[in-house]
Amino acid sequence: MLKDFVSNAALLIASFSIMGVLFKDKPLYPSSPLSSKLYWGICFGILGNVLMSFSIQVSPNIYADLRHLAIVIAGAFGGYIPAIIAAILIAIGRIILFGFNSSAILPASGAFLTGIVCGFISALNIHRTAKAFIMNLCGLVIISIIFMIRIDNSEVLRNVLTMHNLISLAGGLFGYHFFVFVVDSNETQSQLKHSLIRVKETEERFRLLAEYSSDMITMHNDQAEYIYISPAVREVIQFQYPELLGKKLETFIHPDDVERTNNMYERALQKGSAESTYRYRSKFGDYVWIESTLKSVPYQEAGEKKVIIVSRNITKRKLTEQKLQEANELLNRLSYMDGLTGIANRRFFDETLLSEWSNALDHHAPITLVMFDIDYFKKYNDTYGHLKGDWCLQTIAQAVNQLFPEHSRGAFCRYGGEEFALILPSADREKGLQAAQQVKDTVHSLKVPHKSSEIADIITLSIGIATMYPTKSILPDSLIKEADSALYFSKTRGRNTISINEKPERIPT
């Protein structure tokens, strides 16, 4: 009898495996669709009838098997609907297989009652394992009562109940967990299948985006070597896919941009993202401007991080920006340039004097201002005309400007009208006097005719020099006032002279 019960249990478990394969796409849960519950209820009903076909005959009209476990598993996993369906089919099968008689009514009723009880227990808010155990116990109680009613021999009854209950409890426990394994395996396979589908869809979307994107999409390993290049590479940098594969990114970067680009790549590996603009050598050997956004891939393969770079050619935009920058620089220069003479204007003078004054104050250094104008310039205009007067101003300005190029410490400006100013940072009176004498000699060497002058027949200059050590209590205007006073003193002393500060001392020509 033990062998027969074990065979019955083995048949039960094998059937669970077959059912799991047949209905792997229709998992059984209390929340499953009604159709799935119907399928499973019918299958469990058929399983119960199969178990009855291999039942153990205890006496001429008494058979023992594990049919109730089919109802128990149906109720534990699917609720009352599959349990009731399985119970009804088993009850009908009991009558069909063993004949419609009084001895068949009681087992059939017991099967139906087991289905009702299991359906009721399935609604309880307890763990599924506990439900299955309680259902199995209830089923065994019902079957035991039927055996006690129908078996008169106490020894046979004891043997049947002992064997049946032992195999039912052990087989039920094993069968339950085996069915859990079948359900979980099917669920895992289903999740894997859907995951693979999602991965494939994601890959297809990525490939579609990469192939039709106007931006170049590349993937690199932690050595910055190309391992994937999108078709846009032909449009962006004119290379073909095989020409870049396996080569390092820095191979194609302008030498001046390599260090910055490598730092950008390391930042992407460490921080997760980075952005950069750099020059990239195209297939034709010229350099194009590239703007790139880098993202490190969130997974690792073989211990190496991957970096995806989305790049676009911004050469036209960069050229436009450079032209705009050049235009702004030109406008900035023009805003500090005197339109007539081409040298620095009054605005540049004011800002430079303020800056150099502050610098001299910080370093406790002197600052010298040389101011000069053209003697009898109004008479020059009246005699030669304003066009000639403009020429005269331009000639003198350019000649003096060559003495003090942009890289020198001096700043030469047109102060206004025929008056000019020279700022000499860190220069004392002696250096100021040397500069003034140099200016005076340069203009004298031009020998620009001036027949209306009252002191010479050529253009001459009157020059004033002022030197100060800036303090917080003195403003830069004080230096201008001192230099202007010295210039006025030169004019009152006959012009064509150089005067220093307010001293009446006159330096002869």
**φ and ψ at residue 66, rounded to 5 degrees:** -110, 30
Q: What angle do CA 60, 61, 62 make, to 5 degrees?
A: 105
Query: Which of these is catalytic: 418, 430, 454, 482?
Result: 418
Distances in whole angstroms, Cα of residue 353 to Cα of each of 142, 366, 370, 417: 112, 12, 12, 19
418 is catalytic: yes
Q: Is 376 left (phi over 0), alpha (psi -120 to 50) or beta?
A: left
According to DSSP, residue 255 is labeled G
Contact 276, 261 (CB under 8 A): yes
d(CA 494, CA 471): 34
Phi and psi torsions of 236, nearest 5°? -80, -50
Structure tokens at 505: 């001392």
Tokens of 418: 């025929």
158 HSE (CA, 13 A, CB side): 3
User: Which tokens in the block code for residue 148?
Assistant: 């006690």
Encode 62-78 in three state secondary structure. Answer: EEECCHHHHHHHHHHHH
| 141, two tokens | 């109680």
The most distant pair of C-alpha atoms in the chain lies apart, rounded to whole Å, by 160
DSSP 8-class letter at 1: -
List CB contacts of 318: < 8 A, sequence separation 6 or more. Answer: 277, 289
* Dihedral, CA of residue 163, residue 164, residue 165 and residue 167, to nearest 10: 80
Contact 478, 462 (CB under 8 A): no
Helix ranges (DSSP H) in 59-217: 67-78, 80-98, 102-122, 128-150, 154-212
CA dist 181 and 196 (Å) reads 22
Question: d(Cα 149, Cα 102) in Å, to the nearest integer?
Answer: 13
What is the rounded CA–CA span in Å between residue 256 and residue 262?
11
Residue 380's Cβ-side half-sphere holds a number of Cα atoms within 13 Å equal to 23
Handedness of CA 429, 435, 439, 444 (dihedral sign): positive
CA distance 31 to 221: 47
Q: What residues are annotated to the active site?
A: 418
